[in-house]
Every structure is written in C-alpha cells, then in structure tokens.
Amino acid sequence: MALIRDEALVIRSYKLGEADRIVLLFTKDHGKLRAVAKGSRKAKSRIGGRVEPLNYLNVQLWMGKDLHILSQAETIESNFSLRVDLESIQRAMSILEIVDKLTHDDYPDPVLFDAAIRALRSLANNRSAMYVPAFFLRAMQIEGFRPSVETCRLCGTTDDIVAFDPASAAVTCALHPIGNEISAGALKAMRLVLDGHASQAFAVTDSEDEYQMEGLVISFCEAMIERKLKTVHPLLKH
C-alpha cells in the first residue's frame, strides 16, 4: 500500500462497525477518495472530531484498491463558524454537495478544490446570499458548464434581456421570453461573477436580486447535472 499526503475537504462520513467511520474526502491532488478512519468513533480518538463535514485537513492515507486507510489528520481550518446556525450550515453543506456532484473518484481537480476552500472562507466571514450562487457559477464554469448570459440565444440581441432558461443555460430577450424572469440586477451579478468580478457583484447587488440569482443558478446547476440538489432548496424559502 502506498502512503500519500494531501490536503482534503471532508464532504461527509458514515458509521462503520462499532468504532470506525468511512470518510468521503475531496483531496487537492488525488480527487475524491473514500477512506476508513479506524477508531474515530471512540471517545479517545485523536482524529474523530477532525473527520466531520466542512473540516479542511492535512491528511495522510494508506492507499488501497477502492477503500483507503486514513492514518493521520491535522486540522487546517475547522470552519466552526459555519456550524453556528441552520442557514449557515445549509449554505456550507450546499457547497459540499455541488462539489460532490461535480467531482469523480481518484480524479484530481485542484482548481475546483481551491475555489471550494475560498468559498467556505468567504461564507464564514459574510452571510450574503450571493456566496452560494457565486460559487456554484464558478464551479460550473471550472467544469465546462458556463452559461451564456450576454446575448439572447434565439436572436442574438443584447437588448431587453428578460429571462434565463436553465435548461439551455442561456438568456432570452423580451421578444423571445423563454425561461424564468431575470431582473437587470440579477443578470448583472451573474455576468460579473462569470467574468471574475465576484467581489464587485457582492457590493452592487441588492438582496432581492441576490435571492433571484440564487434560484436561477440552482435551477441551472440541477439542469446541467440532471439531478436535484438536496441541501439548497431550504435556502430558497426566503
């Protein structure tokens, strides 16, 4: 068995037997891995509290064929502030969920890994509704699913854009209003985020446009990955 060291984000964990856990890790250089954390449910375990979802770790693993052995875990960031209330937990867990849906076992995705770490740090410092949809757009863009938000997909005009169609990942104009309504503010925010100006989007977008953008981006993500995201829908009940 080969020994590796890597940075890892804990996505989730499961009970195994009486004392162990199986931990799903998104690692920076080795992709998504499943590892057994032996004895992690025992009261005196040195790593038990470190293998909870949202923890950012330095890990050491013995690599097996399908299931690996987590032999060491050191906390880089616990993201404790993201666990203080239900809404914060839901937003943070939605970041883990989209990462899980977009990544593959044993396939490195360091750009997405770094983006996820930055998103959790940003969310810990600011409770804006923008952080989740901004990360979702960035994650989808990294994986090759950038929506078209500049011109109407049916006629090519840049004027009077009034709708966003999640299924086609594109906007439409007042003459061809296919999709869900999109305000000028939400449209501007999406464009800014996709062009790498998320901080500017956070500064100029009001709460109503933030929530509209959130709903549109979630619908877009679900259409592209062809499955529902379980953690995000409570966030839409503003």
Instruction: Give 10-residue mean pLDDT values along the chain (238 residues).
Output: 93 90 96 93 83 95 90 93 86 94 93 96 81 94 96 96 96 96 97 94 91 94 92 64
| pLDDT on residue 231 | 85
| pLDDT on residue 129 | 75
| pLDDT on residue 117 | 96
| pLDDT on residue 39 | 87
| pLDDT on residue 26 | 98
| pLDDT on residue 42 | 87
Question: Distance between CA 183 and CA 163 in Å, rounded?
Answer: 8
Cβ atoms of 19 and 39 within 8 Å: the answer is yes
pTM score: 0.91
Q: Where are the domains of the chain?
A: 2-80, 128-236
| pLDDT on residue 234 | 58
Q: Which fold has domain 2-80?
A: OB fold (Dihydrolipoamide Acetyltransferase, E2P) (2.40.50)
Residue 108: Cβ-neighbour burial (10 angstroms; 0-12, 13-18, 19+): middle
